[in-house]
C-alpha cells in the first residue's frame, strides 16, 4: 500500500435489517407470549386437556393470520404514503426544476455544507438521479427503509407460528398436572432465545434485550393465569 494512505475501512451496519427484523421479532414475540398466555390461562382454570390444546392451536392459526393481515394493511398504508409523496416530488421536479434544485441545495447547507459546494453537490446528484436525491434527502425515503407489505406480512406470520409452536408443543407433551409449569418454563426459555437472537441480529446489547422480552412475557402469562384461575373458580 502506498505511503500515507490508510487501509480500507469497512463498518458493519444493521440498519438494512430493520424492516424485516422488526416484523420478525414482533411476530415471534407475539406468538410465544399470546399462545403461552392463553394456554396457561385456560389450564389455570382447570379446563380439560383437549380444551387447552384446542385453545393453543386456535391461538396459533388465528394469531398468524391476524399478524399477516395487520402487517400487510399497516405497511401498505406506509407504502401508499411513500408512493404519493414520490409522485408529488416527481411532478415538482418536472414543473419547477430550479426551485427543487435550490431546495436540495438548502438541505445540504442546513447540514453544514458550504453554499457553493452544496450547490455543486445538488447539481451533480440531480443530474444523476434527481428523484432519488430528493427521496432520500428531502423525504427520508431510502432503499433500506422502503415499506414492503408482502415481506412484512410473511415475516410476521411465519415468525408468529414459529414462536407459538414452542408453548403449544410444551403443553402437548407435558403431563396434564404440569402443563402450566412446563409451558411457563419453555416459554421463558423461548423468550430468552428470541431476545438473544434479535439483539445479535440488530447489533443491540444482548442482556437488555433478553431481560426486556422475558420480563413482559412473564408478566403477560402471570396476569392471564391469574384471570384464568379467578374466572375458573367463579364458574
Note the pLDDT tens digit of each residue in 152-184: 788 888 999 999 999 999 999 999 889 989 999
Distance of CA 7 to the CA centre of its chain: 36
Q: Please, which pLDDT band fits residue 234 given cuts at 50, 70 and 90?
A: very low
Burial class of 92 by CB neighbour count within 10 A (0 to 12, 13 to 18, 19+): middle
pLDDT at 232 over 80: no
pLDDT at 221 over 60: yes
For the chain, the domains span 17-85+151-234
Handedness of CA 64, 68, 73, 75 (dihedral sign): positive
Residue 6: strand, helix, or coil: coil
**Bigger pLDDT: 10 vs 182:** 182
pLDDT at 144: 52
What's the CA gap between 155 and 22, in Å, rounded? 9
Alpha helices for 45-114 (secondary structure H): 49-95, 97-110
Which pTM was predicted?
Answer: 0.68
**Bigger pLDDT: 157 vs 12:** 157
- Residue 221: which of 162, 180, 179, 171 has the closest Cα? 180
Contact 30, 160 (CB under 8 A): yes
Condensed to tens digits (0 to 9), the pLDDT of residues 127-158 reads 888 888 888 887 877 665 556 778 778 888 89
Inter-axis angle of helices 49-95 and 18-44, to 10 degrees? 160
Amino acid at each position: 500500500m502506498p505511503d500515507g494512505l490508510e487501509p480500507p475501512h469497512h463498518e458493519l451496519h444493521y440498519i438494512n435489517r430493520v424492516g424485516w427484523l422488526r416484523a420478525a421479532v414482533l411476530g415471534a414475540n407475539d406468538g410465544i407470549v399470546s399462545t403461552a398466555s392463553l394456554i396457561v390461562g385456560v389450564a389455570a382454570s382447570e379446563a380439560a386437556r383437549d380444551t387447552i390444546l384446542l385453545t393453543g392451536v386456535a391461538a396459533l392459526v388465528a394469531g398468524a393470520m391476524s399478524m399477516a393481515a395487520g402487517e400487510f394493511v399497516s405497511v401498505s398504508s406506509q407504502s401508499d404514503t411513500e408512493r404519493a409523496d414520490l409522485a408529488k416530488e416527481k411532478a415538482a421536479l418536472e414543473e419547477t426544476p430550479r426551485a427543487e434544485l435550490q431546495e436540495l441545495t438548502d438541505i445540504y447547507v442546513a447540514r453544514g455544507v458550504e453554499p457553493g459546494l452544496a450547490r455543486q453537490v445538488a447539481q451533480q446528484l440531480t443530474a444523476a438521479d434527481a428523484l432519488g436525491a430528493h427521496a432520500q434527502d428531502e423525504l427520508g425515503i431510502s432503499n433500506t427503509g422502503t415499506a414492503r407489505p408482502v415481506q412484512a406480512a410473511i415475516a410476521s406470520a411465519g415468525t408468529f407460528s414459529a414462536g407459538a409452536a414452542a408453548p403449544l408443543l410444551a403443553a402437548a407433551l407435558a403431563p396434564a398436572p404440569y402443563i402450566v409449569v412446563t409451558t411457563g418454563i419453555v416459554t421463558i426459555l423461548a423468550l430468552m432465545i428470541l431476545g438473544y437472537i434479535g439483539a445479535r441480529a440488530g447489533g443491540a446489547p444482548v442482556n437488555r434485550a433478553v431481560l426486556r422480552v422475558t420480563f413482559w412475557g412473564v408478566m403477560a402469562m402471570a396476569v392471564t393465569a391469574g384471570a384464568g384461575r379467578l374466572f375458573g373458580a367463579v364458574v
